[in-house]
Amino acid sequence: MLNTPYFRELISVFPNGAAELFSAVAEKIDADRSLRGIFGRAVKDYMGPRALPMRKALERVEKTSPSLSVSPYTTDFIFVMKCTEILKNRYAEAGVEDSVFFASMDDLRCKLLECMECKGVPGTFVADWYDGFLKMRRFAYGRFQYEVAKSGFSFTSSCGKVIKESDPVVNFHIPSSGVPLSDSVRLASYREAWPHYRHLSDDGRIVFKCHSWLLYPEHRLFLPKGSNILRFLDDFEIVSWVEKDSFDDAWRVFGRYADLPPGQLPRDTSLRRAFADRLASGGKTGCGCGIIVFDGEKIVR
């Protein structure tokens, strides 16, 4: 069954239109033996010992979209939500705090709002992203989401920390939660994450790594002074960065308007104005990869 108390609790924090749609689709699936079987087997095969690849599981449920009269983005999202019911039990079995589970699952709300803004339908257009959460490789601690990865580069930080290409680092991601990237919020997240990854370093100084459009160094040339994005950028030592001819991450700033010509882009926030002016003047955008060396209390320079 899809429409369980857990499912109803999960969708209760979503916008009304989305919650009502998910509830109606879940009821339709539960009432149809064939549909119920497709979703049930996809979840069981993906989350169970068979470990069906995420993409294969999604292809199964996406085939039900026409009969359910919804977008594949919606069926993908319902599949992920059902998987998280099993995940919650696995968190408990592993002794992971409920607070970490619910912080991690807030990503559902973030991706739902992105899909509604950019695609016009409730769901997710990046369902494969949830593989990291559902396989318990990625966890949210405060504002950011963290997972262990290889560094992928050789680098010596300003504090003398030597990072080799095969060394484990703590890769982290910035969900579009709506929480500003203030100094206190960023530091609180680093501090909350540190104990969980302390074992990766002999000297207590762990390396956080981030690859993001937010880490484009040229932002300092056109974003408003005092911007939280610039403050976030200042946390890092930039390892590498690239400039792009097209603003691939425009949807993160302009949402549904991302494909408009620069002169027609909305300028209703200081961030949007800065990017719209940059693009209208022929300026480029880009992305960067950076590191933070953190000792549990502070960024080590």
Provide the token pair at 227.
């911007």
Are 150 and 129 in a shared domain?
no
CB 26 within 8 A of CB 7: yes
Are 193 and 86 in a shared domain?
no
Structural domain includes residue 277:
no
Are 191 and 224 in a shared domain?
yes
Q: Give the percent of the chain with pLDDT over 90.
A: 97
Does the structure show a pLDDT above 90 at 1? Answer: no
Pairing of the two strands 237-244 and 139-141: unpaired
Q: Quick one: average pLDDT of 95-119?
A: 96
Does the structure show a pLDDT above 90 at 50? Answer: no
Structural domain includes residue 48:
yes
Of 96, 118, 134, the last residue of a domain is 134
| Helix, strand, coil share (%) of the chain residues, nearest 5 | 50, 15, 35
Of 115, 134, 153, the last residue of a domain is 134
- Which pTM does this prediction carry? 0.94
Tokens 């069906």 correspond to what residue? 52
Are 200 and 94 in a shared domain?
no
Round the average pLDDT of the chain to a whole number and report it: 97
Structural domain includes residue 268:
no
> 63: how many CB neighbours lie within 10 A of its CB?
12
Of 100, 134, 168, the last residue of a domain is 134
Task: Band the pLDDT of 33: cuts 50, 70, 90.
Answer: very high
Does the structure show a pLDDT above 90 at 3? Answer: no
pLDDT tens-digit readout, 53-94: 999 999 999 999 999 999 999 999 999 999 999 999 999 999
Q: Quick one: average pLDDT of 190-195?
A: 98
Tokens 């620069």 correspond to what residue? 262
Structural domain includes residue 106:
yes
Are 41 and 80 in a shared domain?
yes
Q: Quote the domain boundaries for residue 111.
A: 5-134
Tokens 């149809």 correspond to what residue? 32
pLDDT tens-digit readout, 218-244: 999 999 998 999 999 999 999 999 999
Q: Can you tell me the distance from the alpha carbon of 135 to that of 55, in angstroms, rounded to the nearest whole number?
A: 14
Structural domain includes residue 18:
yes
Q: Can you tell me the distance from the alpha carbon of 152 to that of 290, in angstroms, rounded to the nearest whole number?
A: 12
Are 144 and 232 in a shared domain?
yes
Structural domain includes residue 251:
no
Are 147 and 100 in a shared domain?
no
Are 143 and 157 in a shared domain?
yes
Q: Can you tell me the distance from the alpha carbon of 179 to that of 190, in angstroms, rounded to the nearest whole number?
A: 15
**What is the number of structural domains in the chain?**
2
Are 163 and 108 in a shared domain?
no
Structural domain includes residue 14:
yes
Structural domain includes residue 258:
no
pLDDT tens-digit readout, 252-277: 999 999 999 999 999 999 999 999 99
